Amino acid sequence: MKKGPGKNALIFIAITLLLDTIGFGLIIPVLPQLLEDITHEPVSRAAVYGGWLAFTYAAVQFFAAPILGGLSDRFGRRPVLLYSIGSLGIDYIVMGLAPSLGWLFLGRTISGAAGATFSPAYAYVADVSPPEKRAQNFGIIGAMFGVGFIAGPALGGLLGGFGARAPFFVAAAVSLVNFVYGIFVLPESLPADRRRPFEWRRANPLGTLLQMRKHPVVLGLLTALFLYIVAHQVLPSTWSFYTTYRFSWSPAMIGASLALTGVMSALSQATVLRYAVPKLGERRAALLGMTLMTVGYIGYATATTSWMMFAWLTTMFFAAIVMPVTNALMSHRIEANAQGELQGAVAGLYSLSSIVGPPLMSGLFGYFSSPDARVHLPSAAFVAAAILTVAAIGVYVYATREPRSEVALAEAA
């Protein structure tokens, strides 16, 4: 068993990420309305702006996240987490007050520089978890994201009735309360004797990813995750705009649909990871989740009524386990004092895929829903997501192929 803060610390970090995710989820249902109000453009064009806002956040985070991962290996997880949470609160205030599109881009730049909480949070979990419990504990953290996306979008949809800016100020308050909470209750997880010097060559985003070349299976899994996450960007970048355009959904309806996604994710993390993953194995469980996510994308693309969109959201029940089990597979192959670097690489990869995904997906939606499009296919982004996920499955299978690959040995250990 690892020494350190232990179970209580895991509860602290889970609650921290829960509050953080609630703040993020609050703003999603009203973003189409806010962009339409600021730009005076139709929803198909507003979606393109939304994609570039996500691009800005991801591009800045791509460079900042591995730096935060390396700093957490040097100075500990706690100060880096608190910095990220506090910066998000500032970001929401800037966006809530934004008088123009330029101010919205400034807000996304601030939050991107913070690197959010993904990298140090997962490194924190790795610190306090024995190897055989990492998949389960990563799942607990994933469940907090799921619960946050139940409460956040649902509240955001309701608050949208008070105006498109109201959820931003509530999100700012949640994030700043979260920051104060962390100051008083979040202990450090990385002892001084397990820290290592900060090195810029390891802290640049490409350098962090290149460090993974020493671990062929990890590098293959990172490649598969890149394709999978690029595909998954269709949901945060396009869902609100697509359902507004296709089915005339209100912010409340958008919030309800995203809340259902959170319910599926939370139930998955709490049940599938606990009961199914030990029987299926981490590799097969991840592949099952990817396959069902592909089916979901095809379902969204072909849905003709609102209830069908809700029905296909149930595919998230298994798809939600892909990230935590893959994270566990990779963490088995990395040294204890480099878990922060691994999570920095994962966060950097997520940012890289988020640089590519939102403008790609929102651009596809914007073009094929435009009156000028030669082919009218508003669901083109979901079709692209299905194709990318199939490619991710192929890479995943190849990277973890038999006979007795590193991952197979890790699962047997």
Secondary structure (H, E, C), 176-237: HHHHHHHHHHCCCCCCHHHCCCCCHHHHCHHHHHHHHHHCHHHHHHHHHHHHHHHHHCHHHH
**Terminal CA-to-CA distance of the chain, rounded, Å?**
15
- What b/e sequence results for 7-43 when a residue is b if at least 16 CB atoms lie within 10 Å of its CB, and e otherwise? eebbebbbbbbbbbbbbbbbbbbbbbbbbbebeeeeb
Nearest to 260 by CA among 231, 235, 241: 235
- 298 within 8 A of 184, measured Cβ to Cβ: no
* Domain extent listing, the chain: 7-185+201-412
Angle between helices 134-159 and 251-267 (to 10 degrees): 170
Distance of alpha carbon 17 from alpha carbon 148, whole angstroms? 8
Q: Is there a contact between 407 and 283 (Cβ–Cβ < 8 Å)? A: yes
Burial class (CB in 10 A: 0-12, 13-18, 19+), 343: buried
Q: Give the torsion sign (CA, 37, 20, 333, 293).
A: negative
pLDDT the model gives residue 327: 83
Question: pLDDT at position 296, please?
Answer: 95
| Three-state SS annotation for 138-189 | HHHHHHHHHHHHHHHHHHHHHHHHHCCCHHHHHHHHHHHHHHHHHHHHCCCC
Percent of the chain with pLDDT over 70: 83
User: HSE (CB half, 13 Å, CA atoms) of 39?
Assistant: 21
- pTM for the complete prediction? 0.73
pLDDT attached to residue 412: 47
- The span from the CA of 385 to the CA of 42, in Å, is 24
Contact 399, 217 (CB under 8 A): yes
Q: Is 4 strand, coil or helix?
A: coil
Q: Name the token pair of 291.
A: 């396959």
Helices and strands per DSSP (H, E), number in the chain: 21, 0
Q: What's the average pLDDT block by block, 10 residues per block, for the chain (413 residues)?
A: 54 72 76 87 86 83 74 80 83 88 87 69 76 74 73 85 86 83 76 71 63 72 91 89 91 87 78 77 86 95 94 87 83 68 73 86 91 87 96 90 51 48
pLDDT at position 18 is 73
Identify residue 225 by its one-letter amino acid code. Answer: L
Amino acid code (one letter) for 222: L
Burial class (CB in 10 A: 0-12, 13-18, 19+), 360: buried
Q: Are 27 and 171 in contact (CB under 8 A)?
A: yes
| Four-way CATH pick for 7-185+201-412: 1.50.10.20, 3.10.20.30, 1.20.1250.20, 3.40.640.10 | 1.20.1250.20
Q: Give the model's pLDDT for residue 409.
A: 44
| Closest-CA residue to 228 (of 276, 273, 289, 271) | 289
* pLDDT for residue 359: 92
Is residue 400 classed exposed, middle or buried when 0-12, 13-18 and 19+ CB atoms within 10 A define those classes? buried
Where b means 16+ CB within 10 Å and e means fewer, 233-266 reads bbbbbbbbbbbbbbbebebbbbbbbbbbbbbbbb
Give the gyration radius of the chain's Cα atoms. 20
